[in-house]
Amino acid sequence: MARHSRRESFSDTAASTVCPDTDLLWPFGKLDGLDKDEIRETAYEIFFAACRSSPGFGGRTALTFYSKHNGGDNEGDGVGGGGGSSKGSGFGSLGRKEVVTTPTSRVKRALGLKMLKRSPSRRMTTASGAASAPSSPGNGSSIGGGSSGHVSPGAGFLTVPPSRPRRPLTSAEIMRQQMRVTEQGDTRLRKTLTRTLVGQTGKRAETIILPLELLRHVKTSEFSEVHEYQIWQRRQLKVIEAGLLLHPSIPLEKTNNFAMRLREVIRQSETKPVDTGKNSETMATLCNVVISLACRNTNTTASDVCHWADGYPLNIHLYVALLQSIFDVRDETLVLDEIDELLELMKKTWSMLGITRPVHNLCFTWVLFHQYIVTSQMEPDLLGASHAMLAEVANDAKKSDREALYVKLLTSTLASMQGWTEKRLLSYHDYFQRGNVGLIENLLPLALSSSRIVGEDVTISQGSSQEKGDVKLVDSSGERVDYYIRASIKNAFSKVTENMKDNVSETEEGEEAAKMLLQLAKETEDLALRERECFSPILKRWYSVAAGVASVSLHQCYGSVLMQYLAGRSSITKETVEVLQTAGKLEKVLVQMVAEDSEECEDGGKGLVREMVPYEVESIILRLLKQWIDEKLKTVQECLSRAKEAETWNPKSKSEPYAQSAGELMKLANDAIAEFFEVPIGITEDLVHDLAEGLEQLFQEYTTFVASCGEFETELHPYASSSHKMQQRLKVRKAFKESHTMHCLRRRSQQPQRRRLRHLRRPPPTSLHEPRHPTPLHSPQHSTLPKLSAPLPQQIPRSKP
C-alpha cells in the first residue's frame, strides 16, 4: 500500500532550544515529557523490532525482512545511506554474513574518516556473552595507545577477561552496547517480540504498534523490582502519548473521542499503574483507542499502516538517537568502523519513523557536526565529514518534489549550523589564536556551503516549476568572506577601544585623550600585522584581497575615532599635532598593505583605496593653525576694543610713560609669537605673514586711534596735552616694537628647523597619497623679510617735556 502524504504543518518549537553544554541551537523541535535516556531506550526498541529478521537479532537471514524502503532506496546511493556495497561490510548485499572480519568502510572513505583498525581482530565477546567494550581495536586499548579526550563513563564494565575464549561481536551486540542497553533489557525485548510475532516473521515493521505490544506481553515478574516495572510502563505510555496525542503524524481533531479516552487513561496512570492483565477493562480500552488512532490515514479511514512514531519532532528525536550510536562509547571523537553495517540496519526503521533519504542525509550531517562540538572541537575530521555530507544535502535541496516537513527541517538545521559557525567567523580574532588558527580552514567551507544551500533553497522555492522557477545563483563566497573579515576586524577593534573609551570620554583636556589615541594607533598597527601574518594566508584561498579588506576596515575604524577626537577642537597643541602625525604614519602603513595585497587584482587595488577616506593630516594641521592665529588676533582685537572704551590714557609711571593698554597689547603679541614658533611643525612663510600682518594691522589701528586724540581741544580734553606727548612716545615705541618683532620673526625663521622639529619631520610621501607641502620659511631663496641695517637700541630715549 502506498504511504499517505504527510501533513504540511507542524509545531515550530525548535527556535530557542539549545543543546546541553554547547551554544548550538537544537533544530528539531522540543519534545516534552521524554528525557534523553527514555528517547534512547525507545529508539533501541524500534531499531530491534525493525531488524528482528536480520542476523543477530533473532532471524537466520536478512532476506526475510520486508519493507518498501528496501526496494528503491536500498541501492546504496548517498554517502550516509549505508548502502552496503563495500566488501564484506553491509547486510544489504551480503546478508549471509553476521560478522565482518576485514571491514573496509565505504562511508568512511567518502567522508574522509580514518579507519580505526590496527589488526585484523574485531571486537570480541566471551563465550558466555559478556562483550568487550565497543572500541574497534580488539585488545580493548584506546586508539593511539593512550587515553583519548572523551571517554564514556560506562565503558569500564565491558572489559573482557583475557582467560575466556572470545568470538567476534555481531552488529546486534555492537548496537546494544552503543545504545547502552543492559543485557536484561535486551533479553526481555527479544522474548517479548518472539511471543508477539510468533508465526508472523514477514510482518511489516510499520504495522506494529511496539509500545502497545510491549505493554500487553511484558509482565511485572520480568523485572527485579516493581518500581522498575512502573517506570518502564510509564515510559511506554509517554511514548504513546507523544506519538498519538502530542505530535501525531496526521492532524488530530480536538473532539476526537478516541483521543479523549486515551488522555483519560494516561491521566489515571499517573496515580495508579495500568493493569495489563487479560481481563483488564483499562487495558482493553487502551488497546482499542491506540489502534484506532494509530491506524488512521488522511481520509480518517482505517489502514494497516500504523502511525505512532512518525510524527514530527518525535520521529527525528528517535532517529537522531540511533545515528549518535555510530560514535565509539570509549572515545566519542571516533566513528566505528562498522558504520556501514549500522547505517544499513538503521535504514530499516525508516518505514516506522517516516524517514526518507533526504531527511536521513540532513540528520546525519547535523549529527556529525553536533558531535564535533560536544567533543570540544578536538576532531577536525568530524567537521570535514559534516561538510562532505552537505554535498548530499545540496543535491536533495535542489529537487522539486520536496515535502513541507523536509523544507522546514532543512531551513532550521542549516540555520543552526550556520549560526554556530558564523558566530565564530564574525569574531575569529576572539575564537582563534596562533595555535588553532588552522580550524578556520575547516569551518569556513562549511559556513559557505550552508549559506549557499540556504540561498539556493529560497530561490528554488519561489518557482512553481523546474523550467520556470529554478534560478542558478552566483557564487557569493567572496562576499561572505569579505563580510566575515570586516565584521571580525570591527569587533576586534571595539575590544581594543573598550578599555580606552571611558578614559577618552571622561577627559576634558586633550593631553590624556591624545595619549589614548597614540596607544590606539599602535594597537591598530599591531592588529593589522597579526591579521596579515595569521589569518590572511588562510582567507586568501577564498578571497584574494583578504589582507587589503582588513586594512581598509582598520583605516575606517581608526579614522572614526580620530574624527571624534578632533571634533570641537579649534586650537592646535603639541598633543594634537602628535596625534595627527601618528595617524598619518598609520595611514601610510595601511595603504602600503593594501597596495601589496592588491598587486594581482585587475584594478590594482584602486577599488579598495577609494574606500579609504584620507585622514588629510596636513590640511587639518594647517586649518587648526590658521584657526589658532585667528583666535590670537581676536584676543588682541578685544584688548584694543577695551582700550578704546575704557582707557584713561594716564602713564603707568614715570619710568613707564605710556598707557596700560599699550603694554597689554605688546605682551599679547609677544606671547602669540612665542607660542607660534613652539608648534612642532614646519612653519611656512605664508603662516608667518598671516600672523605678522594681522598684528601690524591691529597696532596700526591702535596708533591711529591714539593719534586722533590730539585733534580735540584742550579745554574739552584736559589730558589732551599729555595725550599728545604720549602719542609721540608711542609712535617711537611702535616703530621699535615693529622692528623688534620683525627681527624676531626673521631670526626664528632662519633657525635650523632640523634641531627644533627633528622628531616630527614627516617621512617622504607614498605614491598613493602625495601631499603638497608649502615652502618652509627657512628656505633662503624664498625669504622676503627685510634685513635690519643697524642693531636695535636697547632702550627708547625719553623725550624731554
Looking at residue 314, its pLDDT comes to: 95
φ, ψ dihedrals at 732, nearest 5°:
-65, -45
Looking at the structure, tell me whether residues 778 and 632 fall in a common domain. Answer: yes
H/E element holding 167?
A: strand 166-168
Looking at residue 27, its pLDDT comes to: 94
Measured CA to CA, the distance from residue 372 to residue 383 in angstroms comes to 6
DSSP-assigned letters across all residues of 542-572: T-TTHHHHHHHHHHHHHHHHHHHHHTT--S-
Measured CA to CA, the distance from residue 413 to residue 434 in angstroms comes to 31
Domain assignment present for residue 801? The answer is no
Low-confidence ranges of the chain (pLDDT < 50): 1-15, 60-77, 83-103, 118-122, 126-163, 457-475, 505-508, 711-726, 728-729, 732, 735-736, 739, 752-762, 764-801
Of 351, 379, 395, the last residue of a domain is 351
Measured CA to CA, the distance from residue 40 to residue 34 in angstroms comes to 10
Looking at the structure, tell me whether residues 178 and 223 fall in a common domain. Answer: no
Domain assignment present for residue 324? The answer is no
Measured CA to CA, the distance from residue 768 to residue 373 in angstroms comes to 46
Looking at the structure, tell me whether residues 488 and 557 fall in a common domain. Answer: yes
Range of the domain at 282: 209-294
pTM surpassing 0.75?
A: no
Q: DSSP label at 59?
A: B
Looking at the structure, tell me whether residues 376 and 431 fall in a common domain. Answer: yes
DSSP-assigned letters across all residues of 623-663: HHHHHHHHHHHHHHHHHHHHHHHH-----S-SSS-S-HHHH
Looking at the structure, tell me whether residues 675 and 590 fall in a common domain. Answer: no
Of 429, 461, 493, the last residue of a domain is 461
pLDDT in tens, 59-77: 544 333 333 444 344 444 4
Q: DSSP label at 709?
A: G
Number of domains in the chain: 5
Looking at the structure, tell me whether residues 44 and 19 fall in a common domain. Answer: no
The SS3 call for residue 168 is: strand
H/E element holding 339?
A: helix 339-346
pLDDT in tens, 423-479: 999 999 999 988 888 889 989 999 999 988 887 544 333 333 444 444 333 346 888
- 85-94 long-range contacts (CB < 8 A, ≥24 apart) are 86/340, 89/338, 89/340, 89/341, 90/340, 90/341, 90/344, 91/54, 91/55, 91/62, 91/171, 91/341, 91/344, 91/345, 92/62, 92/344
Looking at the structure, tell me whether residues 597 and 691 fall in a common domain. Answer: no
Measured CA to CA, the distance from residue 297 to residue 4 in angstroms comes to 7
Domain assignment present for residue 198? The answer is no
Measured CA to CA, the distance from residue 458 to residue 679 in angstroms comes to 62
Domain assignment present for residue 526? The answer is yes
Measured CA to CA, the distance from residue 76 to residue 83 in angstroms comes to 3
Measured CA to CA, the distance from residue 99 to residue 670 in angstroms comes to 103
Of 330, 351, 372, the last residue of a domain is 351
β-bridge partners, 168: 124
| CB 251, CB 11: distance < 8 Å | no
The SS3 call for residue 669 is: helix
Nearest to 385 by CA among 636, 107, 725, 661: 107
Looking at residue 672, its pLDDT comes to: 78
Nearest to 649 by CA among 660, 640, 638, 663: 660
Q: No. of H helices and E strands in the chain? A: 28, 2
Task: Report residue 540 as a C-alpha cell.
Answer: 586568501
| CB 624, CB 572: distance < 8 Å | yes
Backbone dihedral region for residue 779 (phi beyond 0: left; psi -120 to 50: alpha; all else: beta): beta
Domain assignment present for residue 142? The answer is yes
